[in-house]
Amino acid sequence: MSLNSSDTPTIKRRLTTMIYEGLLLFGVVAIAGLLFSTIFQQRNALYLRHALQYWLFFVVGVYFIWFWIHSGQTLPMKTWRIRLVTVDGQALGFKHALARYFLAWGWFLPGLAIAWALDAKAWTSVAIVGANVAAWALAAYVHPSRQFLHDRIAGTKLVQLNKIK
């Protein structure tokens, strides 16, 4: 595959990749949660729940950072022929990958914080977080190359790989 760094994947393509990523992460999180529960003999969901949340945050971070550093692609990114590089087209180092991981939480955390601050319940919480996700996605339209906000801040970009000929 050759890399044409001027080609930014469409927003639809990137969002589809994110959905696929979520499906794979479900398995990663399930296995990590099972491992945690077994090691700490967690018999109740409330027992050590914050420690479990920190553990899962760490595991998901290791998953993304490892793939981004080693190949610039997770499995869904390979499937959709998308690669993550620095703004100058180089492979990511640890600092760029770590920054992107933390900044990518901007898709959800502001909405969750607002829902928590407003003591929102049920569908209101979902609507607030959904509005946050939509705003984050739409923010790509204000950038000339349509890169997402967390990529612009982290100094990274997603590029579309050409098909194998």
**For residue 158, which of 25, 59, 28, 16 has the smallest C-alpha distance?**
16
Indicate the pTM of the whole model.
Answer: 0.88
Q: What is the DSSP string of 77-109?
A: HHHTTEEEEETTSPPP-HHHHHHHHHHHGGGTH
Q: Would you say residue 6 lies in a domain?
A: no
* pLDDT > 70 in the chain, percent: 95
pLDDT band at 25 (very low <50, low <70, confident <90, very high): very high
Q: Would you say residue 5 lies in a domain?
A: no
**For residue 60, which of 83, 39, 96, 33 has the smallest C-alpha distance?**
33
Q: What is the pLDDT of residue 130?
A: 96
Q: To the nearest 10°, the Cα dihedral for 18, 23, 28, 30?
A: 140
Q: Would you say residue 48 lies in a domain?
A: yes
Q: Would you say residue 51 lies in a domain?
A: yes
Instruction: Report the mean per-residue pLDDT for the chain.
Output: 92
Number of domains, the chain: 1
Q: Would you say residue 3 lies in a domain?
A: no
5 pLDDT more than 50:
no
Amino acid at 75: L
Q: Would you say residue 1 lies in a domain?
A: no
Q: What is the pLDDT of residue 163?
A: 75
pLDDT band at 162 (very low <50, low <70, confident <90, very high): confident
CB 114 within 8 A of CB 132: yes
Please write the tens of the pLDDT for every residue from 83-139: 999 999 999 999 999 999 999 999 999 999 999 999 999 999 999 999 999 999 999
3 pLDDT more than 70:
no
50 pLDDT more than 50:
yes
Range of the domain at 74: 11-160
Q: What is the pLDDT of residue 6?
A: 52
Q: Would you say residue 86 lies in a domain?
A: yes
Amino acid at 96: H
